[in-house]
Structure 1
Amino acid sequence: MPDWLVEEGIGETRAILLDGDTVIAAKCRWHGELHAGQHVSAKLATKRGTRGTGLLEDGREILLDKLPGDASEGSTIACVIIRAAMTERGRYKLPAARPVEAMQNPAPDVFSSAKVVHRFPAGSWEEIWEAASSGQIEFDGGSILLCVTPAMTLIDIDGDLPPRELALRAVPAIAAALRQFDLGGSIGIDFPTLEAKADRKAIDTALDEALDDWPHERTAMNGFGFVQLIARLEGPSLLHRFATSRTGMVARMAIRRAERVEGAGTTLLTIHPALKAKLKPEWIAELERRTGRWVRIETDPGLAIERAAAQIVAHD
């Protein structure tokens, strides 16, 4: 049976669902963020019917819904976060929460139930991270391209095969990407245009089979090859994080690479200059504590921002 594993990193906590050597699903949480399933107490600041806003003890604001009729402004409500904050182009969406008593059948929190490991198997997180960074997955005969927009995550299919065959071959890659990138919300898939109704039905059937255990709703393929999926949205997907805070994702991976190198001496971490301000002092201090080595940071403008390099060098 596949097992969820958790790696408690510096600046983020990562989770993967591993089946042998294959990563079936992946998630990450950045430290300090409110996350789905988290219990908080909020002072009800505003109320309009069953909706309102609340203030946490640290001053952060959250959105509230399914408020009871007798809830009054100024009262304190025990809540559960149902969606983390989302940064989108030109706007910021506050975390969303509901009163504890309004929660029914909450989704299990894999970060709490998974086995915590010192390190994931070599290459497992890196493979998913690289794919999410590029927004592209290759399959036999073509590729899928993924793009985050404020309205939805879009998946395009590219290749030179006949349209029906290309669409069918793309379905397993799409099903894998949905889980591996922790996608949710509204997702649009632009398949090649299939004029024959039987061909469109074949793709619908293939999607039903591939997504049988992935909770969602979807439309049937229309005449232009478009399918829309709707799934539970609990927070930023890996794709969304790369789209809205690429330097944040890259900085955390740079720290991870520095933590994984082994040997005696000093850890030399070489990064693009744009990353230097993203490496928080507390991250560096924690890195030194965990590894028992001093850390030296050097910048190289010729280095791609995603290609931070870590090595062990002799003490100065």
Structure 2
Amino acid sequence: MPTISGPEWLIESGIGEERAILVEQGEIIAARVVWDEPWRAGAVVEARLGARIPGTRRAVVRLPDGSEALGEGFDPKLTEGQAVRVRVMRSAIAEKGRAKLPQVRPAAAGDAPGPAPSLLEELSDGPHPVRSVPMHGRDFAEAGWDDLVAEALTGEVAFAGGSLVVSPTPAMTVIDIDGPPPLPALALAAVPAIAAALRRFDIGGSVGIDFPSLAEKAQRRAVDEALAETLAAAGWQGERTGMNGFGFVQLVSRLERPSLIARFARAPAAAAARRLLRMAERVAEPGTLLLTAHPAVRRAMRSEWEAELARRTGRNIQWHEDAGLAPAATFAQAIAA
């Protein structure tokens, strides 16, 4: 196999989840996770126009499975109930107590109906080579997948001189910087960590960065310049505000799907179930698979996932539920039948 000198995408096809990491010099610099959402960005479907929003080109759209999406860009002459072919621009994003509906636009002329591209298809259109790797391989582990998942579960990222706390909110993803003075040095040290976190956690949309408050304009300008330069070097595309007197900066970029942190924070049991499936599929010792988890994780485990695990491994599966465990503290092992 030829040696890859630059970044390379590696893909694992898990149960209930596809995951990809962009690896450069043995480290993860970007990641992507796809769950089995019914409508993902890139899908083109036949739908029906629902209620129009008066005075706009926006409307509610009913998708083939009966679910709804928010649409924009529709001809004002179109009437409720009329068939429309739409392209999904953003998948649904779960929030506490509700979900943001998928977003759609009228499909371009010539766009044929079809599902969203797979992770392999989507990444293959990009500038980096893509390679599928086996579930039992060491590629993800050696690149630091487990550390990335741990950071996404907590939202905490350490860097030299301080730490970031990344929190999804209904309005935006908020990044808080914590660490000791001097504050100008802390703010500058946080910049590379912020740029790295955006790629590693697949964060898009509106992002608010709460830097330490810096009294002098020159200090704030230095952070603005460093942030602009670092984001550009990382390939980030979007709009950015300058730092205000309270240390706040806002970034806005294209949003097509939930970030890793948003997925894990808003569906912790489902995330833990998928993580447990990956652990179980990688157990090398012979015997029955024993899955240990919090009862909420067992409830989040779909029957078809468990059946697929049994099929892939050729093993019987047993459960041990422990309400004293944190939902993320799952464990898989082989036991004698």
TM-score, normalised to structure 2, is: 0.87
- Give the Cα–Cα distance (whole angstroms) in 2 for the partners of residues 37 and 20 of structure 1: 31
Match for residue 188 of structure 1 among 201, 208, 229:
208
1:240-279 to 2 correspondences below 5 Å: 240-279=262-301
Question: Whole-Å Cα distance in 2 between the matches of residues 136 and 266 of structure 1?
Answer: 36
**2:148 counterpart of 1:128:** yes
1:22-41 matches, within 5 Å, as 22-41=27-46
Task: Return the alpha-carbon distance in structure 2 between the equivalents of residues 135 and 103 of structure 1.
Answer: 42
Distance in 2, matches of 1:176 and 1:99, equals: 34
Are the equivalent residues in 2 in contact too, given 1:4–1:110 (CA < 8 A)? no
CA RMSD of aligned residues (A): 2.0
For the residue of structure 1 that corresponds to 2:198, the secondary structure is helix
Counterpart amino acid of residue 10 in structure 1: I
- 2:25 pairs, out of 14, 20, 26, with 20
Query: Cα offset for 1:264?
Result: 2.0
Asked if structure 1 preserves the Cα contact closer than 8 Å seen for 2:11 and 2:18, the reply is yes
**Contact between 2:90 and 2:256, CA under 8 Å: does it hold in 1?**
yes
Alignment of 1:117-196 (within 5 A): 117-119=133-135, 120-122=139-141, 124-196=144-216
Q: 1:65 to 1:224 in 2, by over 3 A?
A: same
Shift of 1:102: 8.2
User: Does the CA-based 8 Å contact 1:12-1:252 persist in structure 2?
Assistant: yes
Contact 1:141 1:161 in 2 (8 A): no
Q: Deviations over 1:174-223 (max 9, x none)?
A: 11111111111111111111112111111111111110010111101111
Is the contact between residue 294 and residue 321 of structure 2 (CA under 8 Å) also seen in structure 1? yes
SS in 2 for 1:209: helix
- CA distance in 1 between counterparts of 2:270 and 2:260 reads 12
Distance 1:58 1:174, change over 3 A: same
- The reply on whether 1:4 has 2:9 as its aligned counterpart is yes
Amino acid at match of 1:44: L
Aligned mates of 2:31, 2:262 — CA distance in 1:
13
The range that moved more, 43-52 or 281-290, is 43-52
Sequence identity percentage: 48
Q: CA deviation at 1:229?
A: 0.6
Equivalenced residues, count: 312
C-alpha distance in structure 2 between counterparts of 1:122 and 1:90, whole Å: 34
Larger deviation, residues 192-201 vs 64-73: 64-73
Cα shift readout 1:73-113 (whole Å, capped 9, x = no counterpart): 33322221111112223432111111112899xxx985422
Aligned to 2:164, the other structure's residue is in SS state strand
Select the residue among 284, 288, 291 that pairs with 2:313.
Answer: 291
Partner of 2:114: none
8 Å CA contact 2:37, 2:91 repeated in 1: no
Deviation larger for 38-47 or 172-181: 38-47
Give the residue type in structure 1 aligned to 2:262.
H
Measure the CA separation in 2 of the matches of 1:37 and 1:163.
Answer: 43
Structure 2 distance, partners of 1:149, 1:93, is 12
Q: Could you tell me which residue of structure 2 aligns to residue 237 of structure 1?
A: 259
Q: What is the rounded CA distance, in whole Å, between the counterparts of 1:109 and 1:262 in structure 2?
A: 29
SS across alignment from 1:235: coil
Q: State the 1:69 CA deviation.
A: 4.0
Describe the shift of the 1:283–1:110 C-alpha distance in structure 2 as closer, same or farther (beyond 3 A).
closer
Distance 2:266 2:19 in 1: 18
Q: Is the 8 A contact 2:45 2:64 kept in 1?
A: no
Describe the shift of the 1:89–1:177 C-alpha distance in structure 2 as closer, same or farther (beyond 3 A).
same
**Equivalent residue letter for 1:121:** F
| Structure 1 unpaired stretches of 5+ | none
Q: How does 1:33-182 map to 2 (within 5 A)?
A: 33-48=38-53, 49-101=56-108, 111-112=120-121, 113=124, 114-119=130-135, 120-122=139-141, 124-182=144-202
1:211-259 deviation per Cα after TM superposition (whole angstroms, max 9, x unaligned): 0010111101111111111111112111111221111111110111111
Kept in 1, the 8 Å contact 2:280–2:289? The answer is yes
1:70 Cα deviation after fit? 4.1
